[in-house]
Amino acid sequence: MELKTAIVTGASSGIGLAISKMLSSEGYKVYGIGRIFPEDADFFEKRISLDIRDTDILLKKISEIKKVDLLVNAAGSAYYGLAEFNTADQIKEMCRTDLEAPMILTSALIPKLKDTKGMVINIASVTSTRINTHGAAYGALKAGLRSYGRSLYEEVRKTGIRVVTVCPDLTLGTKLYRNADFTPSEDEGCYLLPEDTSECVRSVINMREGAAVTEVEVRPQFNRIEKKKKD
Ligand SMILES: NC(=O)c1ccc[n+]([C@@H]2O[C@H](COP(=O)([O-])OP(=O)(O)OC[C@H]3O[C@@H](n4cnc5c(N)ncnc54)[C@H](OP(=O)(O)O)[C@@H]3O)[C@@H](O)[C@H]2O)c1
pLDDT digits (tens, 9 = 90+) for 199-211: 999 999 999 999 9
pLDDT of residue 114: 98
How much is the average pLDDT of 122-129?
98
pLDDT tens digits, one per residue of 84-97: 999 999 999 999 99
Spatial distance between the Cα atoms of 72 and 63, rounded to a whole number of angstroms:
16
Residue 229 confidence class, pLDDT cut points 50, 70, 90: confident
pLDDT of residue 168: 98
Whether 138 sits among the annotated catalytic residues: the reply is yes
Which is the catalytic residue, given 28, 31, 80, 138? 138
How much is the average pLDDT of 100-104?
98
How much is the average pLDDT of 183-187?
90
pLDDT of residue 128: 98
The protein residue whose alpha carbon is closest to atom 34 in ligand 1 is 34
**What residues are in contact with ligand 1 under a 6 Å CB criterion?**
10, 12-16, 34-36, 51-53, 74-78, 97, 123, 125, 168, 170-171, 174-176
What's the half-sphere exposure (Cβ side, CA atoms, 13 Å) at 40? 0
φ and ψ of 140, to 5 deg: -65, -40
Give residue 61 CA to ligand 1 midpoint distance, Å.
20
Give residue 14 CA to ligand 1 midpoint distance, Å.
7
Query: In this structure, are strands 70-73 and 46-49 parallel, antiparallel, or unpaired?
Result: unpaired
Give residue 2 CA to ligand 1 midpoint distance, Å.
30
Domains in the chain, CATH or no CATH each: 5-227 (3.40.50.720)
Give residue 164 CA to ligand 1 midpoint distance, Å.
18
Atom of ligand 1 nearest to the CA of 168: 6
How much is the average pLDDT of 63-68?
98
Ligand 1, residues 9, 35, 142: which to mutate, most atoms within 8 A of Cβ?
35
Which CB contacts under 8 angstroms, 24+ apart, belong to 189-193? 189/220, 189/221, 189/222, 190/220, 190/221, 190/222, 190/223, 190/224, 191/220, 192/168, 192/218, 192/219, 192/220, 193/18
Percent of the chain with pLDDT over 90: 92
pLDDT of residue 231: 62
pLDDT of residue 170: 95
How much is the average pLDDT of 142-155?
98
pLDDT tens digits, one per residue of 164-175: 999 999 999 999
- Name the average pLDDT for the chain: 96
Q: What is the pTM of this model?
A: 0.97
